[in-house]
Amino acid sequence: MSRPGLILKLSCPDQPGIVAKIAGYVAGHRGNLLEFNQFSDPIGSKFFARLEIATADLDVDPQDFIDGFGTLGRSLRAHWHFRRLPYKMRTAVLVTKTDHCLQEILWRTGLGELPVEITSVIGNRPHCQPIAQHANIPFHLIQMDGDQRLPGFQQIRNLIDQQNVELVVLARFMQILPDDFCNAYAGRIINIHHSFLPAFIGANPYQQAYQRGVKLIGATCHYVTADLDAGPIIDQEVERVQHFHSPADLSRLGRHCERAALARGIRYHVHDRTLIDGHRAIVFPD
């Protein structure tokens, strides 16, 4: 994603000729389609697409190309979004005590797999502060116990707004977000849940799984909504469980699932490979 270009995400009512019209618009301005992923949902009668467009040979300025698409978009009754390439998405990571998900994000960001700029790590416990400091990322300790909970969330909102954050990642942040917080950043908060939702929601999922003798455990990366652990699912990961695995073994396997699902979920989001459709997410994997 280092070359100049555009990503276009689009959803609209399904109808004949959509692909031809969009491709024709791009070709008509000498754009080069590097990727055109599409999905027509016959049940909901909806069309979803994700395009990557090389703009080096455009016959108009990229902004004029974006603005000009509005005529076609409106005729399709579409919702659409353009993103210029290259870019880095400004991201805040929220944590509590455990650090494996934070470490995964930092590692993959360092490898260049995730086009993100981590503006800060925000925690309601100090356990992850040394990790953030080692990575030269500001760490903000927010007190959220008891009657400090709602003022604490207001402090977090202030930081997010001041830092122009585009994405909030809950990397095992063990606090339930207020409804107004969820609504203010709808579609921009990603959570990792340590179970294969919708099974074993709530506390102690690995103890629940052990007691039920499950044969698979997993983790779920999803968008956060005001409905607890019920937002659109972006990605899930599973591991097979054997009869001799203890709750500690399940926790170890679960950490692997959490890291993998969260990394993929972030990757899909920051590469604009997700479109939210009601209670589900349409994902175009790379």
The encoded tokens of residue 67 equal: 């603005």
Structure-token pair, residue 134: 């080692």
E strand spans, 96-228: 116-123, 139-141, 167-170, 189-193, 216-223
List per-block mean pLDDT (blocks of 10 residues) for the chain, which spans 286 residues. Answer: 87 97 98 97 95 96 97 98 96 97 97 95 97 97 95 97 97 94 96 73 72 82 89 92 88 92 97 95 94
For each of the domains in the chain, give its residue range(s) and CATH number, in order of start: 5-85 (3.30.70.260), 89-283 (3.40.50.170)
- Total-model pTM: 0.91
Predicted local confidence at residue 36, as pLDDT = 97
Q: What is the pLDDT of residue 196?
A: 62
Helices (H) and strands (E) counted in the chain, each on its own, are 8, 13
Helix (H, G, I), strand (E, B) or coil at 237: strand
The Cα 40–Cα 282 span in angstroms is 11
Q: 18 with 77: CB under 8 angstroms?
A: no
Residue type, 177: L
Q: What is the pLDDT of residue 203?
A: 67
Give the active site residues: 229
Handedness of CA 106, 110, 114, 116 (dihedral sign): positive
